[in-house]
Structure 1
Amino acid sequence: MQTRRAAVLSAAAVALSALSSRAASAAAPARASGSVPAPSGTPGPAAAVSGARDGLVRMALPAPSGPYAVGTVALRLVDRSRPDPWVARPYRELMVSVRYPAGRASGHPPAPQMLPGEAAAFVGLNSLQGVPAERVDWAATPTHAHQGAAAAVGRFPVVLYSPGAGDPRSLGTTFCDDLASRGHVVVAIDHTYDAAGVEFPGGRVELSVLPAEFAKVVPDPEHPDPAKVAPLLRRTVDVRVADTRFVLDRLPDVLAPRLRDAVDLRRVGMFGHSAGGFTALEAMYEDPRIAAAANFDGVTAYVMDDPDRGYLSPVAAHGLDRPFLLVGKDGNTRRTVPSWDALWRHSSGPRHGLTLRGAAHATYTDAEVLVPQIARALDLPRATVTGLIGTIAPRRAVTTGRTCLAAFFGHYLRPPVTAQGPGPLEWPSLQLPDLRPFV
């Protein structure tokens, strides 16, 4: 049961009381800047290495499975038409990472998963209950995306990514890098003052205000009043949707010419995890430019727990006329998540619903591959691991999630072969035995 999740919006991964107290006691992150080089002798995704000098655990991410190398660039975007909704600032400031198919990656260093300031903030505020985050070198994990690599020749669909509440955009790297390697331009968004910490050029880090905002409406986390929590959850989703639409507005203007030529804004999709999945569907409801969206285990109502009723979002109350995908943890279906059932019943477009056997809420993030490495290095209890990422084998979980995502966007964002658009998407043909379609 995903109870009392901090600014959850879709049951994000930490008890609200624990999150709030952790944030209050967290030290300010280091004001560091610059990229982090990949450690020599990077281990495979099944192995973790403890630093010989500092004793910190260092990890690796699985390689993408597509035919393209992956390039990346980080961008600072400023929306001067909108005051920041969380702090007293006359403009809204965001960081995004653009992943894209690259022609060649040699000579371009791999980007780090987290910059030092982001990593320090993540130590102080994260959803990995039972994991001693201070014993992990979060800034030492290299990605498979290469900084500044030239874009491949061609025009590729755009897919936006929104992370869970409190999570950094970097916690979706496994999915984002893979989708880019399969021929998509993936734009991952950090929602400033929502994410644990967002590092801007020069090393300035802005921390999450969600724990403090939650404490204002819920003085006693053990007895939250749904009627008081719902407005905060709605506000958080609304901010995320506005961020998403702004990024989509600005994208053509902020990309370098070669990369701009590779972006096909006639084909736009979005996906996310938890609150990010909720954001993806709500953004598609509000913005007709988004043609398809995938939601990994995010409720679509302003409630604390998946089974809670009421407080439906506009997208759940009115439905969608374009294709969407719901992927739940083990046990989450339209029959057990009332807001999903409302969305399903009110929608007229193509609908896909899948449950992953043995999955937990964080299965659809990089925690799926990072937590087992940390657990082996630090000898953590098996219950800690399964509580976070379920019982499905990590390799199977990653393969299944990446295949689902690529199949969905590959189907609905490809150029239409007929005036009627693509035909039905048949999940059994993917031969993923851990998936169970909704009934």
Structure 2
Amino acid sequence: MNPALFRRGLTAATALFTLAVVPGPSAAAADGPNRAAHLPAPTGHGAIGTTSLHLTDDSRPDPWAAGADARELMVSLWYPTVSPNGRRAQYMTPAESELLLEEGGITGVPSDVLSTVRTNAFTDARPAGRVRGLPLVMLSPGFTKPRTTLTTLAEELASHGYIVAAVDHTYESVATTFPDGRVATCTACEVPHDEAFWNRLVAGRAADVSFVLDELTGAHAQWEGARLIDPSRIAMAGHSVGGASAVTSMLADPRVRAGADIDGTTQIPIPDSGLSRPFLLLGRQNQYTPGTGDGAVATWERDWQRLTGWKRWLVVKGAEHASFTDVGLLAEQLGIDIGADLPAARVAEIVRGYTRAFLDLHLRHRPQPLLDRPSTRYPQVHFCAPETSTCV
């Protein structure tokens, strides 16, 4: 694969922090008590709890930190609760906000503005549900992005009865804050981004996901709500290289029963023997329409032939790379143009609707007509048939 494809994807993924801030109104929006940046309300009826875990894998050295004999990870969990405590979870720390804005040279907004984003989950609320009664969804963010940029999707799924675990892949994000106050920055950003780099990255993410699954479903689970997880109903979704890592994780770990790649150019090819578990491809129309070139879309065309189970290829007209995560949502609220024709709030609705339908179908075995044909409710979503290079 051409490593330049990943570099272009990375550039698009940082759109929130590379485009100019509209003067005046954006700063006012961040400062106003009733106009602060916020995440959309989930569509489920259940209240949501959230907590963070600090996990250490002593079985392997860190792939990016020289001399580190163990891999440290921060993981955020979202889950159903019946006892919200009234304390809304912080979106990210002030230090993380500052480093994320600094990465793109954004000025004109307070450096801690992303730490004040209003969320819908309650910190450390008690988990609720039947023992082994809830499916688990693993989430992996794009390169350089913190796990929190997938919070909108995580909150949506938790409000519908899923447990969600988002992994910060340490030293691949601009900022990961540990409980003792240490902030790990993006050491991997300093490594030449050739094909070997991306292979190493997605393989490392698969190892991270398997380790977290061990910690959540093993005999000595590291979270009080772990007893609620049904280990036979686990899926993974990710954005950008996090989506590409869903393929790698499924190949490496049979516990991951279904996967979704959200606008991510895939890296390590699926072997000739194929991947028979369900898989969803969801991306931009201008990047992933089949038959349009040798770029990122060629990786999906290659893998499509080796996805031998249930599969769908969907593209969203008018979306950009940043539209598929909180990055686009918060950018628009702060007055930053990410270049998309479709409002980020609409793309968020699409991502939440189609991802949840996919998971409900394959983890809960509930019929989902939304995945069978184009919907008048979502006319921007087109179903693609790579065999004929058509999308309807």
CA contact (8 A) 1:13 1:362 kept: no
Correspondence 1:217-256 to 2 at 5 A: 229-252=194-217, 253-256=220-223
Aligned length: 364
Post-superposition offset of 1:319: 3.5
Specify whether residues 131 and 407 from structure 1 end up closer, same or farther in structure 2 by C-alpha distance, changes over 3 A only. Answer: farther
Give 2:238's match in structure 1, choosing from 245, 250, 272.
272
1:268 match: secondary structure = strand
1:348 is matched with which residue? 308
**CA displacement 1:40-80 (0-9 Å, x = unmatched):** xxxxxx99733279xxx941111111121110110000000
Specify whether residues 133 and 319 from structure 1 end up closer, same or farther in structure 2 by C-alpha distance, changes over 3 A only. Answer: farther
Give 2:11's match in structure 1, choosing from 6, 10, 13.
13
TM-score, with structure 2 as normaliser: 0.85
Post-superposition offset of 1:113: 0.9
Post-superposition offset of 1:429: 5.5
Correspondence 1:30-429 to 2 at 5 A: 49-51=29-31, 58-87=36-65, 88-105=67-84, 107-125=85-103, 137-154=113-130, 155-214=133-192, 229-252=194-217, 253-257=220-224, 259-301=225-267, 313-315=268-270, 319-331=274-286, 332-336=288-292, 337-375=297-335, 385-387=337-339, 390-414=340-364, 416=365, 425-428=371-374
CA contact (8 A) 1:9 1:299 kept: no
CA contact (8 A) 2:98 2:111 kept: no
TM-score, with structure 1 as normaliser: 0.76
1:413 match: secondary structure = helix
Q: Which amino acid aligns with 1:51?
A: D
Specify whether residues 212 and 412 from structure 1 end up closer, same or farther in structure 2 by C-alpha distance, changes over 3 A only. Answer: same
Post-superposition offset of 1:183: 1.2
CA contact (8 A) 1:9 1:275 kept: no
Specify whether residues 10 and 188 from structure 1 end up closer, same or farther in structure 2 by C-alpha distance, changes over 3 A only. Answer: farther
Specify whether residues 430 and 201 from structure 1 end up closer, same or farther in structure 2 by C-alpha distance, changes over 3 A only. Answer: farther
CA contact (8 A) 2:354 2:370 kept: no
2:48 match: secondary structure = strand
Percent identity reads 34
Distance 1:73 1:366 in 2: 19
Distance 1:119 1:366 in 2: 13
Distance 1:52 1:401 in 2: 29
CA contact (8 A) 2:215 2:221 kept: yes
Post-superposition offset of 1:130: 6.9
Specify whether residues 121 and 244 from structure 1 end up closer, same or farther in structure 2 by C-alpha distance, changes over 3 A only. Answer: same
Q: Which amino acid aligns with 2:357?
A: A
Specify whether residues 147 and 10 from structure 1 end up closer, same or farther in structure 2 by C-alpha distance, changes over 3 A only. Answer: farther
Distance 1:160 1:185 in 2: 9
Distance 2:334 2:272 in 1: 41
1:113 match: secondary structure = coil
Specify whether residues 315 and 322 from structure 1 end up closer, same or farther in structure 2 by C-alpha distance, changes over 3 A only. Answer: same
Distance 1:112 1:208 in 2: 22
Post-superposition offset of 1:422: 9.4
Moved over 6 A (4+): 421-424
RMSD, matched Cα:
3.0
Specify whether residues 359 and 318 from structure 1 end up closer, same or farther in structure 2 by C-alpha distance, changes over 3 A only. Answer: farther
- List runs of 5+ in structure 1 lacking aligned partners: 23-45, 218-228, 302-312
Which moved further from structure 2: 337-346 or 314-323? 314-323
Q: Which amino acid aligns with 1:361?
A: H
Distance 2:196 2:161 in 1: 39
**CA displacement 1:89-130 (0-9 Å, x = unmatched):** 11000000010011131x24111110123222212325xx87
